[in-house]
Structure 1
Amino acid sequence: MFTPIPEAIEAFKRGEFLIVMDDESRENEGDLIIAAELTTTQAMAFLVRHSSGFICVPLEESRADELNLPPMCINNEDKHSTAYTVTVDAAAGTTGISAQDRSLTVRLLGSSTSVATDFTRPGHICPLRAKDGLLKVRRGHTEAGVQLAKLAGLQPAACISELVRDEDGLMMRLPDCESFAQKHGIKIITIEQLVEYSESL
């Protein structure tokens, strides 16, 4: 059912999506996750079509600081303490909302050479500040995305969004995610697997 982590990392390195399930006792949802630097226009269109459409980009906190991406609010009241920053668009884009513009913004967020002035604020992409220590500190999709990128030897940034069901717009749970993965040829892993693998290194 779940893909071994080394196999998933190789797929991630090739620019493929992974479905990452978090703990059943937490959000109990599956996110589509792809490396930020490898997010094409086609990948963005697929992500928007099958997800909530709320596209986020987990980054290391230090990188968020370098890009002038402060927290969205001073007092974070989110149930799971998701660290949203101010939203951004690529300064070189047009409207910011097209799959082409959104993928450009994501790739810039995943580039080591980008600077703060490469982005306009607010925008249509929401960066997330991953906790220092990643999954050792917080077992969320934010930290999982950055962890996957690092394990794959890529820039530590990912592009993520929650999978939703076509018929009613509700979040996909594991059975839904398994069907979706089989239909689209996408590998599924869990955050628990990722934690165990990272601790074994």
Structure 2
Amino acid sequence: MTNDQTFMPIQEAIEHFKRNDFLIVMDDEDRENEGDLICSAAAITTKQMAFLVRHSSGYVCAPMSNDVADRLDLPLLRTGMKFTSNDDDRHGTAYTITVDVAQGTTTGISAHDRALTCLQLAKGHSRSTDFLKPGHICPLRAVDGGVLERPGHTEAAVELSKLSGLPHVGVICELVNDRDGSMMRLSDCQKFGKAHGIPLITIKQLIEFVKQKQ
């Protein structure tokens, strides 16, 4: 950990991510000022998905690189979406049509079904025909420039996947407080991370790490 024991160094976080463990990723206070639970989609379990849904907003998203989204024929919900602060979505999140995996699921909403959908999204041989649309997982397109171009949780998940040598598909959801349903801020995320043994990192850390590797 860093000196103040708040944020894990990125190299350690990458090793953590490779083991398919959760990270809490914080963005800037002047942006969303939120903490997202993030893991790889490549090996997510039903137990992990249930934990994610239990402690989050429940709106589970699957960030992915554009090449994966293109292969799966997942267009943006709004044609011509631009990643600008004055977009309809204030942070320019690149939402696509929602999906469920077609085989092995029932309603698509259970933790089991949502985990299966994420696993299928991460498989290199998956195709559009493997999914029903709309569904209960929301794929997000990360910008090609990653966190250096857009410092969002979407890009952070894909950046971590790339740095870890994993398929370029993650799973993210915003942490919320049990007491009132409000979004968890830094102090809340610190308490949550300590209680559940989940390390924190920031997107700012990730940006600096990527810059140093260039």
Sort the TM-score into its range (normalised by shorter chain): over 0.9
Q: Separation in 2 of the partners of 1:153 and 1:66?
A: 19
- Kindly indicate whether residue 13 of structure 2 is the aligned counterpart of residue 8 of structure 1: yes
Cα-to-partner distance string for 1:101-134 (whole Å, 9 max, x where unaligned)? 0000001111111111110100000000000111
Q: In the TM superposition, what is the alpha-carbon distance from 1:73 to its structure 2 partner?
A: 2.1
- Aligned equivalent of 2:108, options 82, 96, 107: 96
Q: Separation in 1 of the partners of 2:72 and 2:112?
A: 21
Q: What letter matches 1:136 in structure 2?
A: L
What is the match of residue 87 of structure 1?
A: 98
Aligned residues with identical type, % of pairs: 58
What is the match of residue 115 of structure 1?
A: 127
**SS across alignment from 2:150:** coil
Cα-to-partner distance string for 1:19-74 (whole Å, 9 max, x where unaligned)? 00001110000000000112110000000000000000001112111101011123
What is the match of residue 32 of structure 1?
A: 37
Q: Separation in 2 of the partners of 1:190 and 1:103?
A: 25
Return the TM-score normalized by structure 2. 0.92
What is the match of residue 185 of structure 1?
A: 197
Cα-to-partner distance string for 1:116-166 (whole Å, 9 max, x where unaligned)? 111010000000000011111100000000000011110011000000000
- Aligned equivalent of 2:48, options 43, 68, 76: 43
Structure 1 unaligned regions, length at least 5: none
Indicate if the aligned counterparts of 2:68 and 2:168 stay in contact, CA closer than 8 A: no
**CA RMSD, 1 decimal:** 0.8
- Aligned equivalent of 2:150, options 138, 141, 158: 138
Q: Separation in 1 of the partners of 2:144 and 2:190?
A: 31
Q: What letter matches 1:57 in structure 2?
A: A
Indicate if the aligned counterparts of 2:65 and 2:168 stay in contact, CA closer than 8 A: yes
Q: Separation in 2 of the partners of 1:75 and 1:183?
A: 43
- Kindly indicate whether residue 144 of structure 2 is the aligned counterpart of residue 148 of structure 1: no
Give the direction of change, closer, same or farther, for the CA distance of 1:12–1:122 in structure 2 (3 Å limit).
same
Structure 2 unaligned regions, length at least 5: 1-5, 82-87
What is the match of residue 176 of structure 1?
A: 188
Q: In the TM superposition, what is the alpha-carbon distance from 1:182 to its structure 2 partner?
A: 0.1
Q: What letter matches 2:16 in structure 1?
A: A
Return the TM-score normalized by structure 1. 0.98
**SS across alignment from 2:117:** helix
What is the match of residue 54 of structure 1?
A: 59
Q: What letter matches 2:151 in structure 1?
A: R
Q: What letter matches 1:159 in structure 2?
A: V
What is the match of residue 28 of structure 2?
A: 23
**SS across alignment from 1:74:** coil
